[in-house]
Amino acid sequence: MSKKLPTRQEDYSAWYNELVKRAGLAENSAVRGCMVIKPYGYAIWEKMQRQLDDMFKRTGHENAYFPLFVPKSLFEAEEKNAEGFAKECAVVTHYRLQNDPDRPGKLRVDPNAKLEEELIVRPTSEAIIWSTYKNWIQSYRDLPLLINQWANVVRWEMRTRLFLRTAEFLWQEGHTAHATATEAVAETRQMLDVYAEFAEEHIALPVVKGVKTPNERFAGAEDTYCIEALMQDGKALQAGTSHFLGQNFAKAFDVQFQTKEGGLEHVWGTSWGVSTRLMGALIMAHSDDEGLVLPPKLAPIQVVIVPIYKTGELDALLERIRPIQQGLAQRGISVKVDSRDTERPGFKFAEWEMKGVPVRLAIGARDLDAGTVEAARRDTKQKLQLPLSDVVDSVDKLLNDIQLSIYNKAKHYRDTHTTRVDTYDEFKAVLDGPGGFVVAHYDGTSETEELIKEQTKATVRCLPLNEPDEDGVCIVTGRPSQRRAWFARAY
């Protein structure tokens, strides 16, 4: 195996795949389309989870857990939802294996152990959850019901890519029920804001908040809101969605409540989710040809200390390093001292760069005697001498700088790859040139959207919430348009 990664320039896709494996984030498993998330990758996911979970709790949500399996009769209750997911469901039909009489030592499915009703492995949990909510909700006093669950789901995708699209993935799904449409819409928008804040503050990933067109809407939703991000190859990635479900699921599962006034009404629903796909976004947005670049807020290890020493001097040096290590830890900075005696410094430098640790301190007796340490920041590769006297403050500040700096870099890339166009020719030229978001008028019909997708592979990513109304004409049909949409080729 070559020491260097393929570059983004020569093969973006190979760069991504190699990076995910070499940084120890995930690998393909023995199961088609399913990945093994390795400890270092899972540590990043755990940091995402912890932060998001805090944000959910702060907005009044509680966690619960619902079954992996959904009886087919429940699954099919909300027709649009069922239809939307039907083609990618794993289905359990039997419950027992037996020895195969024809092939000694092998097992086969016991033909007598067929389930009376097939079980669908959840591709999303609306069905099982709403069938439960029917029992939980009787009165306006039971509302709003604000539940989240951390779970795995299965969608039998034809083509998979580590983190970006896998047959099984981890996510959270919030499912809420409300007395009024207004409240439910407010919840939908609130959670979109939570996602956007998380993406920008923690992943350092600038996102556009918007609403999906009917073509791209979640199956069973009245409206789908989303955050869209731009990757370094000019393709967009949907990073999170929040759905206003109207009364669709309440009606399908007969979830009604008595109002204060004594009436009987269906509740209003929302659902919202982000998945391990955020890992893909994180990787593709910031990393470079040397490996992963992690925002300090999500880095499992924020500072790695590499001791520089000669044979026999390691223990003595580690003693001198300890106060620095403890000082950083007391500041709440996660620090690792790479005291492996089996690898040389150059190897360690390269390895921690591959793993995206934001700050590296190389410390030898020479530095300590001079009252300095050498710091290297991962994002810019810049090296600087920090005075030993205030190393904790300096590193703390450095981590904040890095968090901000990689956000600004991603924002600059996004802004310089967002192009307003007024003709279809310009539209195509941008897509085939720099790529990125293309902001254009179109007539708002599904037909035009389909046509554009067929001809250019670009889809409407969203109608941004903050995009002002503006009269114009559709770049394809010339019909009037009141608003620009954001298009892009997407993952």
Partner RNA sequence: CGGGGUGUAGCGUAGCCCGGUAUCGCGUCUGCUUUGGGAGCAGAAGGUCGUAGGUUCGAAUCCUGCCACCCCGACCA
Q: Does 1 bind RNA (CB under 7 A)?
A: yes
Q: Which stretch, 189-197, 305-313, 410-418, 468-476, contacts RNA (CB under 7 A)?
A: 305-313
How many residues form the binding site for RNA (CB under 7 A)? 46
> Among residues 460 and 476, whose Cβ is nearest to RNA?
460
**For strand 437-441 and strand 418-420, is the pairing parallel, antiparallel, or unpaired?**
parallel
The distance from CA 21 to its chain's CA centroid, rounded to whole angstroms, is 18
Sign of the torsion angle spanned by Cα atoms 15, 17, 18, 20? positive
Q: Which stretch, 37-45, 85-93, 201-209, 292-300, contacts RNA (CB under 7 A)?
A: 85-93
Residue among 50, 383, 420, 479 that touches RNA (CB under 7 A): 383
Alpha carbons within 13 angstroms on the beta-carbon side of residue 103 total 6
Q: Which stretch, 144-152, 191-199, 359-367, 405-413, contacts RNA (CB under 7 A)?
A: 359-367
Question: Residue 464, Cβ neighbours under 10 Å: how many?
Answer: 18
> Among residues 254 and 341, whose Cβ is nearest to RNA?
341
> Among residues 2 and 330, whose Cβ is nearest to RNA?
2
Decide: 87 and 205 in contact? Cβ < 8 Å: no
Q: Does 447 bind RNA (CB under 7 A)?
A: no
Q: Does 367 bind RNA (CB under 7 A)?
A: yes
> Among residues 352 and 413, whose Cβ is nearest to RNA?
352
Judged by DSSP in three states, 459 sits in strand
Q: Does 345 bind RNA (CB under 7 A)?
A: yes
Q: Which stretch, 103-111, 144-152, 212-220, 462-470, contacts RNA (CB under 7 A)?
A: 212-220
CB of 167 to RNA, least distance (A): 10
Q: Does 365 bind RNA (CB under 7 A)?
A: yes
> Which residues, numbered 108-137, are part of the site for RNA (CB under 7 A)?
123-124
Q: Does 412 bind RNA (CB under 7 A)?
A: no
> Among residues 124 and 172, whose Cβ is nearest to RNA?
124
Q: Does 288 bind RNA (CB under 7 A)?
A: no
Place of tokens 């390691």: 314
What separation in angstroms does the CA of 137 have from each of 32, 187, 222?
40, 18, 22
What separation in angstroms does the CA of 276 have from each of 40, 65, 172?
14, 18, 9
Question: Residue 420, Cβ neighbours under 10 Å: how many?
Answer: 12
Q: Does 170 bind RNA (CB under 7 A)?
A: no
> Alpha-carbon distance 234 to 433, whole Å?
10
The secondary structure element, H or E, covering residue 295 is none
Decide: 197 and 211 in contact? Cβ < 8 Å: no
Q: Does 209 bind RNA (CB under 7 A)?
A: no
Q: Does 310 bind RNA (CB under 7 A)?
A: yes
Q: Does 347 bind RNA (CB under 7 A)?
A: yes
Place of tokens 């990073």: 239
The DSSP 8-state label assigned to residue 214 in this structure reads G
> Which residues, numbered 237-256, are part of the site for RNA (CB under 7 A)?
238, 241
CB of 345 to RNA, least distance (A): 4
Place of tokens 């410390």: 363
> Among residues 12 and 140, whose Cβ is nearest to RNA?
12
Site string for RNA, 50-79 (x = CB under 7 A): ------------------------------
> Among residues 145 and 362, whose Cβ is nearest to RNA?
362
Amino acid at 17: N
The secondary structure element, H or E, covering residue 223 is strand 223-230
Q: Which of 47, 3, 4 is nearest to 282 (CA)?
A: 47
Tokens of 394: 């300096």
The secondary structure element, H or E, covering residue 397 is helix 391-416
Residues that bind RNA (CB under 7 A): 1, 3-4, 28, 32, 84-85, 87-88, 123-124, 155, 157-159, 165, 216, 218-219, 238, 241, 290, 308-311, 341, 344-347, 349-351, 353-354, 362-367, 374, 376, 381, 383
